[in-house]
Amino acid sequence: MIFSVTILGSGSALPTSKRLPSAHVLNAHERLFLIDCAEGTQMQLRKLKLRLSKIEHIFISHLHGDHTLGLFGLLSTYNLLGRHTALHIYAHKELEPILWANVNFFVEKLRYKLVFHALNPKDKECIYENENLYVESIPLKHRIPACGFIFREKECVLNIRKELIDRYELGLSDIASIKNGADLVSPTGELIPNAELTYRPFKARSYAYCSDTLYSATVADYVKGVDLLYHEATFAHNLLDLARQTGHTTAHQAATVAKDAGVGQLVIGHFSSRYKDVTPLLTEAKRVFPCSFAANDGDTYSIPRQRL
Amino acid sequence: MIFSVTILGSGSALPTSKRLPSAHVLNAHERLFLIDCAEGTQMQLRKLKLRLSKIEHIFISHLHGDHTLGLFGLLSTYNLLGRHTALHIYAHKELEPILWANVNFFVEKLRYKLVFHALNPKDKECIYENENLYVESIPLKHRIPACGFIFREKECVLNIRKELIDRYELGLSDIASIKNGADLVSPTGELIPNAELTYRPFKARSYAYCSDTLYSATVADYVKGVDLLYHEATFAHNLLDLARQTGHTTAHQAATVAKDAGVGQLVIGHFSSRYKDVTPLLTEAKRVFPCSFAANDGDTYSIPRQRL
């Protein structure tokens, strides 16, 4: 089952010819989750052949235009495409009135249900779950209220080795116990340990999106051990003062978060338009956290499924 | 002096991977005029290396999202770039409240003057002029009030042949008369016709933008004789009923407008996303008006300067 992140926009507030502002898509088990929705998001989705209809949930980190201004066009496009399934938007409560003002103005007769969920930018909260996945919002520190998001696969149940069901004549209650980790005493009195009865489950995968934010050690606590961390790195560390003034993080700091949190890999992005080449930022990050990558628009990072 | 039109977006409401929704740029004597501003306009401007700072006037044909939703991002970008010069927006009066609502929400401390000009969608009006150019808005027929725009160079004054000023010892009043078309009687009594004293002036060039609109013979009257007509051709003529229902024009009808108006050349665009290949629409148009072209995003049509 797929668990991958596609970067639609890796730039910051000023789009360049190579980098659009912020938007990511998580593909978790063939359901797409959109994270931020800058201007141009719907065009990128089409260009990258990501099916718009597979998106039912949109998570908006904060209400700056470079994270939100693609929303009104996308909502209008859904209407023109004849969408009927509900669309859920998770964002700070202040988005709701301007969202509806724009929808009422620009979308002719909204034909699908648009459900607004107000985020709590002060605490970690579970904001969504389905059978495979749950999503937490975490507080970030920006000029305005901002949330990061952590997408976590649920722990898999143990899968029983099917050929053993007949061999040991297992009933439904045996199977349920084994799936919950129990060993088996066979009809001959032999003790068969659970590990011999089941396949090792798959490791639950996780992805955290942290943008925009000041450097914060608390963020490292929240994202501890995630497989993939996307963290903004708007500036190189020689512009630390500017990063602080504007509520942003340097590449060095983003890598420090990754290191302190012990994540699997780090992807930095939300680069200031001043960097035509982001190699120096990547080099800076790698010095602190070697498994760092610099985001490019259109890149996909897949996390392979591995047994525990 | 340059007079050219660059097509930023040649698609209609649903963007495709090849066509963005509507936006054009007219370069008239190195000043850029933006006509419509769909989502993605600022990215296209950057990609095509058209300098954002050269735009001081934005003309919005009507208030559907596929002609306007790039405006808020562009206005925000201007602010981030430190713009100080005024920006003029010409649009239907109903845009003003939602424009300000979005600017107040998404633009942090607007630092330049934003001047809103309400269009009259019922009559032809001159809405702007400078030393080289004037712009007329003309009524179109769409589902909501809509205006086309005609950009016309002003007639050039006659330029005197400089070497004759000394030869005939011309004073300021002589020069003024000659520039107004007068002949000259030389000190020896010789009559020198104006054509020998002056260079032939340049023909005033013109460009008309007509989108979105139903087919209308009145439009042909308004755009009579323009050098370049961009006319929407959302559908092929076999979808005439759909064109009528949705307030759009077929390629055949667009070419009929061009023919009836006797324009120099026709560019059709605003193509429905159903057409992966617009060759059939172009063929249809060419049958009626041979000098027809199909718009592509990024195309530039230059009208060369010619003496009368």
A149-171, pLDDT tens digit by residue?
Answer: 999 999 887 888 888 888 888 88
Q: Chain A residue closest to B11 (CA)?
A: A43
pLDDT tens per residue across span B251-265 = 999 999 999 999 999
Catalytic residues of A: 66
CB B99 within 8 A of CB B116: yes
pLDDT tens per residue across span A69-110 = 999 999 999 999 999 999 999 999 999 999 999 999 999 899
Residue A131, CA distances (Å) to A2, A33, A136, A156, B235 in order: 15, 15, 15, 10, 45
Q: CATH 3.60.15.10 occupies which residues in chain B?
A: 3-156+201-302
Look-up: residue for tokens 């000394």?
B166
pLDDT tens per residue across span B114-162 = 999 999 999 999 999 999 999 999 999 999 999 999 999 998 878 888 8
The counts of H helices and E strands in chain B are 11, 18
- Residue B68 pLDDT exceeds 90: yes
Write the ipTM. 0.91
Q: What type of residue sits at position B288?
A: V
Dist. CA B186–CA B190, nearest whole Å: 5
CB contact under 8 A, A42 and B39: yes
The distance of Cα B55 from the centroid of its chain, to the nearest Å, equals: 13
Give the model's pLDDT for residue A200.
85
The distance of Cα B4 from the centroid of its chain, to the nearest Å, equals: 9
CB contact under 8 A, B101 and A106: no
Q: Which CATH entry fits the domain spanning A3-156+201-302: 3.60.15.10, 3.40.50.1000, 3.40.50.2300, 3.40.309.10?
A: 3.60.15.10
Q: What type of residue sits at position A30?
A: E
The pTM of the full predicted model, rounded to 2 decimals, is 0.93
CB contact under 8 A, A106 and B68: yes
- Residue A38 pLDDT exceeds 90: yes
Give the model's pLDDT for residue B168.
86
Catalytic residues of B: 66
Residues of chain B contacting residue A101, judged by C-beta atoms under 8 Å apart: 98, 101
Find residue B4's DSSP bridge partners: B27, B302
Report residue A16's pLDDT band, with 50, 70 and 90 as the boundaries.
very high
CB B281 within 8 A of CB B271: yes
Pinpoint the alpha helices (H) of A148-303.
163-167, 172-179, 194-197, 217-222, 240-246, 251-261, 279-288
pLDDT tens per residue across span A102-150 = 999 999 899 999 999 999 999 999 999 999 999 999 999 999 999 999 9
CA distance to partner chain A, nearest, from residue B70 (Å)? 8
Residues of chain B contacting residue A69, judged by C-beta atoms under 8 Å apart: 72-73, 76, 106
Chain B residues with CB-CB distance to A under 8 A? Answer: 13-17, 20, 39-40, 42-43, 46-47, 63-66, 68-70, 72-73, 76-77, 80-81, 98, 101-102, 105-107
Lowest-confidence region among B180-194, B216-230, B281-295:
B180-194
Neighbours of B88 (CB within 10 A): 16
Residue in B13, B46, B73 nearest the CB of A39: B73
Report residue A203's pLDDT band, with 50, 70 and 90 as the boundaries.
very high
Give the model's pLDDT for residue A83.
97
Residue in B14, B20, B72 nearest the CB of A65: B72
Give the model's pLDDT for residue B187.
79
pLDDT tens per residue across span B199-215 = 888 999 999 999 999 99
- The three state secondary structure string of B183-242 is CEECCCCCEECHHHHEECCECCCEEEEECCCCCCHHHHHHCCCCCEEEEECCECHHHHHH
Q: Chain B residue closest to A19 (CA)?
A: B43
CB A70 within 8 A of CB A23: yes
